[in-house]
Amino acid sequence: MNSQKRVILSPRQLELYETLTVRSATETFNEINYSITDEAGKLMRKGAIANGSNEFKLCIVGFKSGVYQLSIGQTMEHFTVI
């Protein structure tokens, strides 16, 4: 099992209306779709990543304080909105 991170989130803790930067730890993203769910598993946002991209930004709007999970394919990373 490979324990290296495939996706890097920055910052991991942010406030409403801040921007979350999502970077691929490799050359480009292997998957083109992403989703964000809340702690209860409710889908908050989904979208597509431009083909050949290694970074994209998401403005955190409409989220309440809590922990969220970003999923890209089988890769899952958590971030917190305060």
- pLDDT, tens only, 7-51: 999 999 999 999 999 999 888 998 899 999 999 999 999 999 999
Neighbours of 31 (CB within 10 A): 15
Domain ranges of the chain: 7-81
- Structure tokens, 64: 């309440």
Rg (CA), the chain: 12
Stated pTM of the model: 0.88
Q: Which CATH architecture has domain 7-81?
A: Sandwich (2.60)
Note the pLDDT of residue 26: 83
**Phi-psi label, residue 41: left if phi above 0, alpha if psi -120 to 50, beta otherwise:** left
Contact between 44 and 37 (Cβ < 8 Å): yes
